[in-house]
Structure 1
Amino acid sequence: MNCAYANLTASQQLWDCSDEYIAAAIHGFADAGLRQAIETMLFRTPRSRIRWARAVFVPPSILSALARFNDHQLNRHIIRNGRTPLEALRHMRRVVTDEHSLGGIAAHRNASADLLATFRASGLPVIRFSLAGNPSTPADILEAIALDAGKDERRVLAGNPGATEKLLGTLWHNANDDEHLRAEIAAHPRCPDDLLPAALGSSCDVIRRKLASNPNVTHDQLMMLLSDPVAAVRVEAIKYIPACDIDESDLAASVRKQTARRVNLSAQLVARLANDECAAVRRWLARNPSLDVEHLALLSKDAASDVRRSVARNVSCPQHLLRHLATDKNPWVRAGVSFRTDLEADVMRLFAHEDDTDVLSGIGKNPAAPGRWLKRIAASENADLRRAVILNPNAPSALLRQLSEDPYAFNRITLVEQPTLPMSTLLALLSDPEPQVRFMAAMRLARTGLEREITQRSCCWSDMDAAVNLPRASNAKENDYENTCAG
């Protein structure tokens, strides 16, 4: 890294906008004059504008600025970007004319109800379909679409959270033989109550299964679904039946697995599940936080290593069982213990000579791990182990500074967001060879301490021509990253 650059203050580095990724990061915090200067640099060519429009990390303010170009090809990329803000969508609604772009606006998750209402009179299929599936679409528009909706439109309408009882009733009665449409209606929280018995008595198991997830289904209806001949229906029903009403094991392992996840089961049922022939059932039971110590102790000696690991991951597992599992012959079980942040010191010491990668990963993330252990793990050739230390909230500052030179870019990207990262290290990352590291470092600096200065500062570029014509970075990592954004 450039040591001289790293020694500059945060303000000096952020305002050195010769780096377009740093410039992009501070764009949303800048005043009008500086924003214009940043845009002049970033949007030099049609290709560069499209590259920014397609970047998944791009700030919404940049997308708003790009929308003002009123370029047909560029707009299509902006509309596809999930970060595009409402103001940009409103602008493009006024200038866009092709139906695919209009359909993209109508489908966008950031579109508001008033914006979607401007499509009320449209009869274009692509726009109708987009409106039918957008949760923000006004109810009267959904009902208007339903009047002459095709099969695909009806299914999307039935799954829309904004669908009304009236709409769902109309769709049900016009469903003909479309069982999947009726299944979506049966699961909808606004499904009319008078349709629930019809769904309950349906010969289609998909409809009955979806009905079980409806929050308005009565207790008696759930109990009927619990005795359904199809296991998939019973699996769904048992998720919502009060645990006190579950008094026996099901013949289907899939249902017993779901049962084992329920809290406050009867002691008799827990005993049966703890001795279930299916290891997956015992594994889910072993993770159940309401399990008593007696059954946790039984499952901690289970022949299946996945069951013993589940005991180790159970938040209710007592220290004496964790101490036993920390010496398990299977490293996957020991790893389950090593991730625990509530380990007593004597249990943690059992890992002093551990060399298994999975266990070391847990130790590396564990805030109770001694600093000397973290130092040893941070020196590993395994990038995942080094990242484990980066994610440790108690990692020493000196260790984080060392890891800022990690050869794996994703580790440095992860490092940027760690709250204990020293400011000097964060500043050094502004000159990182990886573009996304520089971008995220600048974004964090802008978010966490320079907002006031950024909003007050005027454009600092004395020579605009020099800034606009800066050469593009040529190192291979940056080119690869740009190709990823463009692709």
Structure 2
Amino acid sequence: MNRLLCGLAANPALPPELVDRLIALAATPPGPSDLPDPAGLSADYLADLLVRNLSERADLGPAQVAALAALDEDTPAQLAHSGHLGAGDVDPAVWPLAALALLDEGRGLPEWARRFAADPDPSLRQRLASCAGLPADVEDTLAADADPEVTAELAWSTTSAPVAARLARHPHAEVRQSVAGNEAVPPASLAALLTGHGLPPARSCLVCDGREIPFAHDPSFQDVDRDLPAGAGCDGTHGSTVHGTWARALSNPAAPPEAVAGFAGHPSVWLRLAVAEHPGLPAEVYARLAGDPAPRVRAAVARNPGTGPEVSRVLAADPEVDVRRAVAHHPRVPFDVLGQLTPTTRLGPHPLPPISAATPEELARGAASGNGRVRMLVAHRHDLPPELRDRLAADPDASVAKAVAPHPGLSPERLRAMVALHGQQVLARVAANPDAPGDLLAELARHEPSARRALREIASHPNATAEALLPCLADGKSRVRAAAHPALPAAVVVGLLADPDPEVVEAAAGNPSLPPAVMAQLLP
């Protein structure tokens, strides 16, 4: 097995008879004589990749699907996920994983769910518990399952409020921890998980199951039953799991604000962080957390949509740059606060939430600002009115032009004018414009001095021509992308099959421009 075969398996132009040959190869276990992969990938991994690429092909015929399904117990599930197997093709007793895959996608039969709910294999029951839309009687059966990991999976995935409320009172702490993150849990049950009021104590957890109490997990010891997190311990109160339950419940948007607010002064920074991220708390709680000693907590407050403008103004002057940057990602931060942030804080290349939510009037004011950084923030929004877009494209500030360059709708003439004015600074962003024509991409690829980021954009651009792609082969990362581009000349693609980089070989083998005769020669 090698990368070349994996690339061929994903090639959409591979003829049906060669697909048959690859399936036959996939049925042959990799042996010790196989050449090692230069990137260190094992023969078993490559064999799995080959089967996965074959299973995801859209052109498989019934005989090919049957041949792939016969390879092992996992492949039928891949074929089911890819749409090649339906309920009429699957026997759950023969292909249980495929049946569970169909159940998970809502294409299975209800009687399959009842069958798996009574299956003696807990791993199959656990997979079933993660499926959406299970019949009510099946959820009831799984909620009473003797294996807590099965029930915990149901607790995490159920959309039934009564089932979730029932599992919030489960005697196993692991189940309670799972259900705490489920938004279907009624607020009263989440409050009980946080405060303990009206909730009987849990009787066991995964840490203490089958062990003498007190137990502390040695981080250097590999637990023979299951992997426990470092520092996990239990003295009979299931402290590690209870802490995890609090963290999930505090992060749950359905948790009642009054129960969440009670943890604002907790000694654990992780719990205070979860409180700071909750969107529905009283203003005084956010104001208190804005003074938290942990910068990550203050940053969470700064991003929180529930935080008011007064707190945003305070945090815009925070000494930590991550906190100030978080202020800019608040969806309703005032425009003047953004202007206050730009001299001291790099705000990133993507449209900020307040820019995305800005009105046309606010955008026009921002685009007319004397502060180039504010104009740049507006230019990052790529659904601007055409006249505003074109004005920013002609901006003398390179950072503004760079931000607006990928905007759809810019004419080739305007894109060329930006390159003429700003040169290498805007090459990559102009190359990323979806409307850039092939001749312009070729000009950018030949530009001196060149820009490696521009070559990477060109190498994967759907409008790239052969003339534009050939210079991309000189750059390592661009070479992989260009090798897969269908506009690359067939002779060049064939030459790349002998490239020393296995990623380039795989990309070239998957290129639909590869001649079928060459594909046939590559397969034994």
Q: Aligned-pair distance for 1:73?
A: 1.2
Comparing both structures, which one devotes a greater share of its residues to helix? 1
Structure 2 SS opposite 1:69? helix
Kindly indicate whether the alpha-carbon contact (under 8 Å) linking 1:310 and 1:336 is maintained by their aligned counterparts in 2.
no
Aligned to 2:297: 281
Distance 1:259 1:479, change over 3 A: same
Aligned to 2:174: 180
Matched residues in 2 for 1:148 and 1:263: separation?
35
After superposing the two structures, state which structure 1 stretch, 40-49 or 194-203, moved more.
194-203
Aligned to 1:251: 265
Kindly indicate whether the alpha-carbon contact (under 8 Å) linking 2:405 and 2:430 is maintained by their aligned counterparts in 1.
yes
Distance 1:320 1:206, change over 3 A: farther
1:248-306 deviation line (CA, Å, top 9, x unaligned): 99323555544544557656555444444433333233334565555444333322222
The yes-or-no answer on 1:47 pairing with 2:34 is no
Matched residues in 1 for 2:187 and 2:258: separation?
26
Distance 1:22 1:304, change over 3 A: closer
Superposition map of 1:20-169 within 5 A: 24=12, 38-45=15-22, 46-47=24-25, 53-55=51-53, 58-62=56-60, 66-69=64-67, 72-73=70-71, 76-80=74-78, 83-85=81-83, 87-90=84-87, 92-94=89-91, 101-107=95-101, 111-112=105-106, 114-115=108-109, 117-118=111-112, 120-121=114-115, 123=119, 125=121, 127-143=124-140, 149-161=146-158, 165=162
Kindly indicate whether the alpha-carbon contact (under 8 Å) linking 1:79 and 1:89 is maintained by their aligned counterparts in 2.
no
Matched residues in 2 for 1:251 and 1:347: separation?
43
Q: Identify unmatched segments of 5+ residues in structure 2.
A: 1-6, 28-46, 206-241, 356-362, 377-394, 474-478, 488-493, 511-524
Distance 1:137 1:90, change over 3 A: same
TM-score, with length taken from structure 2: 0.52
Kindly indicate whether the alpha-carbon contact (under 8 Å) linking 2:460 and 2:485 is maintained by their aligned counterparts in 1.
no
Aligned to 1:334: 346
Aligned to 1:462: none
TM-score, with length taken from structure 1: 0.55
Matched residues in 2 for 1:305 and 1:180: separation?
38
Superposition map of 1:417-432 within 5 A: 422=463, 425=465
Distance 1:154 1:274, change over 3 A: closer
Aligned to 1:415: 461
Matched residues in 2 for 1:374 and 1:427: separation?
19
1:169-202 deviation line (CA, Å, top 9, x unaligned): 5x789x6x53213444566677799988986434
Kindly indicate whether the alpha-carbon contact (under 8 Å) linking 2:305 and 2:332 is maintained by their aligned counterparts in 1.
yes
Distance 1:111 1:38, change over 3 A: farther
Q: Aligned-pair distance for 1:144?
A: 5.2
Identity percentage over the alignment? 18
Q: Identify unmatched segments of 5+ residues in structure 1.
A: 1-18, 26-36, 208-228, 417-421, 443-470
Distance 1:111 1:22, change over 3 A: closer
Matched residues in 1 for 2:303 and 2:434: separation?
25
Structure 2 SS opposite 1:135? coil
Higher relative contact order (CA 8 A, sep 6+): 1
Kindly indicate whether the alpha-carbon contact (under 8 Å) linking 2:250 and 2:275 is maintained by their aligned counterparts in 1.
no
1:21-42 deviation line (CA, Å, top 9, x unaligned): 89627xxxxxxxxxxx942343
Q: Aligned-pair distance for 1:310?
A: 2.3
Code of the residue aligned with 1:334 in structure 2: it is R
Kindly indicate whether the alpha-carbon contact (under 8 Å) linking 2:103 and 2:109 is maintained by their aligned counterparts in 1.
no
Q: Aligned-pair distance for 1:323?
A: 3.5
Structure 2 SS opposite 1:117? helix
Code of the residue aligned with 1:130 in structure 2: it is R
